[in-house]
Amino acid sequence: MKKTHSVEEYIQESKFREALRILRELILSTGLNESLKWNAPVYDLDGKNILGLGAFKNHFGIWFFNGALLNDKKGLLVNAQEKTKAMRQMRFELVSDINTKAVIAYINEAIENQKLGKEIKLEKTKMIIIPESLKQALKTQKQLQSCFNALSPFKQKEYCEYIATAKREATVENRLQKISPMILKGIGLNDKYKNC
């Protein structure tokens, strides 16, 4: 989705606009604050992110920042990615899939968890393991190494994981070619998604 400048514009640009309007009204009825972060609507309580609203190619829904703490008695939550520890999504494909009572119950539970100070503390790993192929590229290109070393540990880790998760050698090479100019510019792998 292209960069939007308001929640209204985000909703209007989506093919799921009717459904997003319904979810937005439900969320706002709980008293959460609304803002646009990461190019999507995000709702917080006293500055702490509780949930977000999102539209994707084949579905739309709500993601809960500390969704793993929700009881999920109705089995409505999915883990967005295998490695995601805290975040959970409530996905829908049709407006008729929205059970407003269940949505409100999950939102209220997430709000209550925040009020109680419940949150999942993510483990921070200090050591960055540089894949051999990236290590070789850094060794042979001194400017690349200098720029890589100047990156924050988080950005370095993003690049290392990106290379390490490639299964084929051709993919490793393609990824190295893609990231080298980005490293030289001092930007992170996913910086373009962090415009908030």
| Per-residue pLDDT tens digits for 26-76 | 999 999 999 999 889 999 999 999 999 999 999 999 999 999 999 998 999
Nearest Cα neighbor of 56 from 8, 1, 107 is: 1
Q: Candidates 2.40.50.140, 3.40.50.300, 3.90.1150.200, 3.40.50.720; correct CATH number of 7-115?
A: 3.90.1150.200
- The pLDDT tens digits of the residues spanning 2-34 come to 688 899 999 999 999 999 999 999 999 999 999
The pair phi, psi for residue 35, each rounded to 5°, is -150, 175
> Which of 155, 142, 154, 153 minimizes the C-alpha distance to 186?
155
| 3-class secondary-structure state, position 39 | coil
* pTM for this prediction: 0.63
Structure tokens, 112: 């209550």
Task: Encode pLDDT of 154-191 as tens digits.
Answer: 899 999 999 999 999 999 999 999 999 999 999 988 88
Please give the Cα distance from 104 to 93 (Å, whole number): 18
Q: Residue 196 pLDDT more than 80?
A: no
Dihedral pair phi/psi, residue 64, rounded to 5°: -105, 125
Ranges assigned E (strand) in 40-196: 40-45, 48-55, 60-64, 77-78, 88-92
Which tokens go with 74?
A: 């109705």
Contact 47, 53 (CB under 8 A): no
The letter for the amino acid at 180 is S
Give the model's confidence band at 137: pLDDT under 50 very low, under 70 low, under 90 confident, else very high.
very high
Nearest to 182 by CA among 129, 132, 139, 137: 137
122: confidence class by pLDDT, cuts 50, 70, 90: low
Q: Poorest-confidence range of 43-57, 75-89, 115-129?
A: 115-129
In Å, the largest CA–CA distance within the chain is: 59
What is the percentage of the chain residues whose pLDDT exceeds 90?
75
Q: What is the pLDDT of residue 21?
A: 97
Question: What are the domain boundaries of the chain?
Answer: 7-115, 132-193
194, pLDDT greater than 70: no
**In this structure, what are the phi and psi dihedrals at residue 20, rounded to the nearest 5 degrees?**
-65, -35
pLDDT at 84: 73
Side-chain half-sphere of 108: how many Cα atoms within 13 Å?
9
111 band by pLDDT with thresholds 50, 70 and 90:
very high
- Is residue 1 very low, low, confident or very high in pLDDT (cuts 50, 70, 90)? low
